[in-house]
């Protein structure tokens, strides 16, 4: 996967003024095109958990009906049956889990998302999606395929790192990778097949978990008590490539990363990530530092899990830092809308290790203006990105 020199904007559809795939979403695409932006990065599109997190969805396949602009739009029996047939690997499981009307909701989601994505493509804007590495405990995938997961005496998490000094305790079920290997990683192949049906490029969240994952004993208070266990390495993605062709993927290689993770990333020919927020700290060899950016890296000014640029450095410095990011050697620079608007901590999307008060930030009507688009277009053009 290789990117031309370009700019992306990160905004989950839930952060649109309406939080839905209606007029606000189309207006946002128009703004992206006016700003010279070629990529719209969203977070996972599945149903969120009770805290609003799209990274703990009850389905690794379903789209979220809460995003629909027309949730009551009619669906014919023929359309529902066609969807069941086309998505036979997961639709029946989701229907059994979610109940009556679940498939009709997926038909509506397919209609609205395909229409919006087509509108964006006609204006030169493509979509970057996100694939959480784990599924929710007790969710559809966990219930329908318990053999693919380990017993819940140990659960997923992350060791202490830059994001959280106590590590993170996610609580997701861990994969029985030996079972996945015996089935040719078929569940993962179908998951990524669904992903490339919905987006043009996808980010593999917590890629390092494929090399080694952090297993935490159930009942632990924090993620500190875990230990590393060996993952499947590149076998998952190689199986998917054999079935689907080259994968248009970005590797999320943040956190406590060991050399074998970088080696696998480079072996697969996938770009990793750097974060401008961390470009002025850490070891001299840090991938985040400006002098160490590689061409095939995706540079984020900040992420959904970090403080905003203005929240960390102050609003006065945010504009200069954006120009610094655009001048990076990295081919693709992704800017959360919060950083375009120079918003502070009040606009942060998520605070890892906490459950309350996250995933709720929204744009206000008219907050993103033509002037913002013009300024970004001019700065991107000066950096050879528009």
Over residues 341-385, the pLDDT tens digits come to 999 999 999 998 788 899 999 999 999 999 999 999 999 999 999
Tokens matching residue 131: 């694939």
Strand order in the sheet with 297-300: 249-251, 201-204, 126-131, 39-41, 6-10, 332-336, 297-300, 272-275
Overall average pLDDT of the 158-177 stretch:
88
pLDDT tier for residue 163 given thresholds of 50, 70 and 90:
low
Strand order in the sheet with 168-173: 168-173, 154-158, 212-217, 227-230
- ∠ CA 306-191-45, nearest 5°, is 45
Task: Quote the CA–CA distance of 183 and 44 in Å, as a whole number.
Answer: 26
Residue with tokens 């790192």: 161
Whether the predicted pLDDT of 386 surpasses 90: no
- Per-domain boundaries in the chain: 6-382
- Residues with catalytic function: 205, 252, 305
The CATH classification number of 6-382 equals 3.20.20.80
**Mean pLDDT over each residue of the chain, to the nearest integer:** 96
- ∠ CA 64-67-69, nearest 5°, is 135
């Amino acid at each position: 996967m290789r990117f031309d020199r370009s700019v992306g904007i990160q905004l989950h559809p839930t952060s649109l003024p309406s939080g839905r795939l209606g007029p606000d979403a189309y207006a946002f695409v128009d703004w992206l095109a006016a700003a010279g932006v070629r990529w719209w990065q969203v977070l996972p599109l599945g149903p969120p958990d009770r805290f609003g997190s799209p990274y703990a969805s009850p389905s690794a396949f379903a789209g979220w009906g809460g995003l629909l602009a027309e949730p009551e739009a009619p669906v014919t029996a023929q359309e529902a049956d066609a969807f069941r047939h086309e998505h036979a690997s997961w639709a029946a499981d989701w229907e059994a889990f979610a109940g009556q009307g679940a498939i009709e909701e997926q038909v509506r989601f397919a209609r609205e998302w395909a229409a919006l994505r087509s509108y964006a493509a006609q204006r030169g804007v493509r979509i970057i999606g996100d694939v959480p590495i784990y599924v929710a405990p007790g969710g559809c995938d966990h219930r329908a395929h318990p053999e693919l997961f380990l017993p819940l005496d140990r659960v997923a998490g992350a060791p202490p790192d830059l994001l959280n000094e106590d590590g993170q305790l996610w609580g997701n079920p861990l994969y029985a990778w030996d079972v996945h290997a015996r089935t040719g990683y078929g569940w993962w192949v179908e998951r990524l097949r669904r992903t490339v049906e919905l987006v043009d490029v996808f980010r593999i969240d917590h890629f390092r978990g494929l090399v080694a994952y952090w297993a935490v004993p159930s009942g632990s208070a924090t993620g500190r008590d875990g230990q590393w266990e060996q993952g499947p390495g590149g076998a998952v993605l190689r199986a998917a490539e054999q079935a689907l062709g080259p994968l248009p993927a970005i590797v999320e290689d943040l956190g406590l990363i060991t050399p074998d993770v970088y080696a696998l990333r480079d072996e697969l020919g996938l770009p990793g990530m750097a974060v401008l927020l961390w470009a002025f700290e850490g070891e001299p060899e840090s991938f985040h530092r400006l002098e160490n950016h590689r061409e095939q890296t995706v540079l984020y000014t900040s992420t959904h899990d970090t403080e905003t640029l203005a929240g960390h450095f102050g609003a006065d410095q945010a504009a200069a830092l954006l120009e610094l990011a655009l001048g990076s050697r990295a081919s693709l620079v992704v800017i959360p809308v919060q950083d375009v608007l120079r918003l502070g901590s009040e606009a942060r999307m998520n605070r890892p290790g906490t459950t309350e008060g996250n995933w709720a930030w929204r744009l206000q009507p008219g907050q993103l203006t033509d002037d913002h688009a013009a300024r970004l277009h001019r700065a991107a053009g000066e950096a050879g990105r528009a």
